[in-house]
Chain A
Amino acid sequence: MTKPTIPIGVVCSLSGPYQDMGREILNGATLAIDEINESSDFDFSLAAHVRDPRGIISEYHRVCDEIVRDTGARHIVGCYTSASRKQVLPIVERTERLLWYPARYEGFECSDNVMYVGASPNHNVLPLVRHVLDNISRDIFCVGSNYVWTWETNRVTRELVTGAQGTIIAERLLELGESSVGHIVDEIVRRKPPIVFNTLVGSSSYDFIRAFHQATSAAGLSIPMLSCSLCEPELKIVGTAAAGCITSSAYFESVRLPENVAFVGRWKARYGEASSPSVDGQSTYNAVYLLARALHRAGTSDIAEARRAAAGYLYNSPQGPIWIDGRNNHCALTPRLAVSNPDGQFDVFWEADAPVRPDPYLTQLDVSAAAVSPAALAPRSNQSHLRVVK
């Protein structure tokens, strides 16, 4: 018997400054859709209507509008940057569609028409910065792409660093796609910061990592780098220069779970032995599964029913148990920290004991000095006995 078909939109940029991540999103979605269509667990098939906005922000609005008008899809999977999500948001809210957004983002948003499947800031930025403050340094040099992800990540980092009586040594921003990184690398070599936090995305990040590695090696410096976005396909693009980067993510290919071993096997069987699923590809795969399970549970593609059905419905994904928190439509995930190695993989050195509830507005954020190790804190100045009178 032929299964009924439910149309869904898939929005990913297959060209432009973050085309590699767009390809990951498409690969993750396609793998999940094909598995679901072949599975007897689902009494329907998903028909993907893929649209490519080519990394052009205004195109996201157009292609989303096209999906809504022409395909009858009530559910859309995709978008990568926050700027692209913001373009799609008015359409899904106005036409009562549901966007299943797979990327990590900076938080401080909670639309009833979006399922935020990627990491919230309490899943990636907080554990990373706390690790640095506890174990490496209280002083951080920040370099990032000039957009909302970097602005907010730097803002949170600054709050935590200041709470620990440390300093943000510098905050350098480059436009998206900008490749002139030499002046920032020169400054880093000159100032020798104890650590560099890289929130650049796409090609800017690859250019920066290569130039940073070359310049610091030539100067005999060993400066660790931090990232909340670096992933396995990018390690392969950048090469061995990307080794040694301390990275925070809910997923790494090297996660040792039976579900992940099986998932990586299926991924490589489909996309080639040399391919590696990234957190974005894996998260998109999860998004499609969360959507399909919600549709199956609800028995309809109505978005209010699907949203209700998805809430709290645990899925044993390749990255471990995950679920949508019905209070804020964000996903509960397991934060992990890892270091990139020269083989293009990550060695995980820490992970949370259990999935962590999403806190998109960072309502639980504790910026007190006590939130980091007391050993990392030392008094810096003596207070004057004089009161300055003006």
Chain B
Amino acid sequence: MSRPSAFSLRGRVALAAIHDPRDLSAVRRQFERLGIEIEIWQPGVPCHRRPDVALLDDDYLPLAASAQLNLPTGCPVIALLGTETPSRLKLVLELDPASFLVKPLRSAGLYAALILAFERAARSAELAEQMARLEDRLRSRRIVLAAILQVMQERTIEEPAAFAIIRRAAMEQRKTIEQVCAEMITGRTARAAHSV
């Protein structure tokens, strides 16, 4: 099976909310070179495709609601700036842009802005996942503590030895420590853990 380069953007779909026809023309030309499909957004017209990235012209700001764009969760936004005044930047910041370009647009810079946006989106998604995992683990600390105490009492051993037994059980069963602890507390895998 073929695998494109990590730096190839071929096959991606971009939503382009671009006001000036010359800017749009520059984006079209460069996207064709990069193998990116373009979906033109217009105010009030629903977009039927699920974009991987959105280019949003600051001429369209403020949007009555960013929901107007109907972007999928995690879709990075590249802001197209016509001015660097704080009042305009404030509106742009509300979109949480992953990257930006200064108008008038030209071919140079688009590829870099796209790569940065995709990378930023990937890292943000990874961070969000990591945070969710850590929150889960934080919540399950009580369960882990209870399971360690259970093993300590049953086998009359110290805490490090009890944890080592649980860790070993988790590795052998290819589960997380939290999963094994939860099952031990409910009594389902206590025997397996004890037999290590």
Contacts and interface: CB of A to CB of B under 8 A. Distances in A.
Interface residues of A, number: 27
Contacts of B33: 110, 327-328, 360-361, 363
B30 interface: yes
Nearest to B5: A365
Interface stretch (B40-48, B55-63, B118-126, B172-180): B172-180
A371 interface: yes
B106 interface: yes
B7 A362 contact: yes
Given A389-B167, A389-B171, A110 B107 contact: yes
A386 B171 contact: yes
**Interface core residue of A109, A363, A368 (most chain B CB under 10 Å):** A363
Contacts of B35: 361, 363-364
Interface string A345-370: 00000000000000011111111101
Contacts of B30: 110
A365 B4 contact: yes
Given A112-B107, A361-B34, A361-B111, A368 B1 contact: yes
Contact of B1 (A327, A328, A370): A370
B65 interface: no
Interface in B75-124: 106-108, 111
Contact of B4 (A327, A367, A386, A387): A367
Interface string A315-334: 00000000000011000000
A362 B5 contact: yes
A327 B174 CA distance: 52
A363 B32 CA distance: 10
A271 interface: no
A93 B29 CA distance: 16
Given A327-B32, A361-B33, A367 B171 contact: no
Contacts of B9: 361, 363
Given A361-B34, A363-B9, A386 B172 contact: yes
A389 B176 CA distance: 7
Contacts of A370: 1-2
Given A386-B172, A389-B176, A389-B177, A365 B8 contact: yes
Given A361-B33, A363-B35, A389-B170, A111 B8 contact: no
Most buried by A among B8, B111, B170, B174: B8
B49 interface: no
Chain B contact patch, size range? 20 to 34
Contacts of A364: 8, 10, 35
Contact of B106 (A93, A365, A387): A93
B8 A163 contact: no
A159 interface: yes
Contacts of A362: 5, 7-8
A156 B10 CA distance: 17
B5 A367 contact: yes
Given A361-B111, A370-B2, A387 B8 contact: no
Among A362, A365, A387, A389, which residue has the most Cβ atoms of chain B within 10 A? A389
Contacts of B4: 363, 365-367
Given A327-B33, A360-B33, A389-B170, A366 B2 contact: yes
Contacts of B167: 389
Contacts of B67: none
A361 B32 CA distance: 11
B3 A108 contact: no
A274 interface: no
Nearest to A389: B170
A146 B158 CA distance: 57
Interface in B133-148: none
A112 B106 contact: yes
B107 A368 contact: no
A17 to B, nearest CB: 27
A101 B32 CA distance: 22
A219 interface: no
Contacts of B6: 159, 367
A118 B96 CA distance: 41
A388 B5 contact: no
Q: Which residue, of A156, A159, A365, has the highest number of chain B Cβ atoms within 10 A?
A: A365
Contacts of A327: 29, 32-33
A363 B106 contact: no
Pick the most buried of B106, B107, B167: most chain A CB atoms within 10 A of its CB: B107
A82 to B, nearest CB: 13
Contacts of B111: 108, 361
A109 B108 contact: yes
B173 to A, nearest CB: 9
What 6 A-B pairs come out closest when comparing CB atoms? A368-B3, A363-B35, A363-B10, A387-B174, A365-B5, A366-B2
Interface of A: 89, 93, 108-112, 156, 159, 163, 327-328, 360-368, 370-371, 386-389
9 contacts: A112-B107, A159-B6, A327-B29, A362-B7, A363-B10, A364-B35, A367-B3, A371-B2, A386-B171
Given A327-B33, A371-B2, 7 more contacts: A159-B5, A159-B6, A363-B34, A366-B2, A367-B6, A368-B2, A389-B167
Interface of B: 1-10, 29-30, 32-35, 106-108, 111, 167, 170-172, 174-177
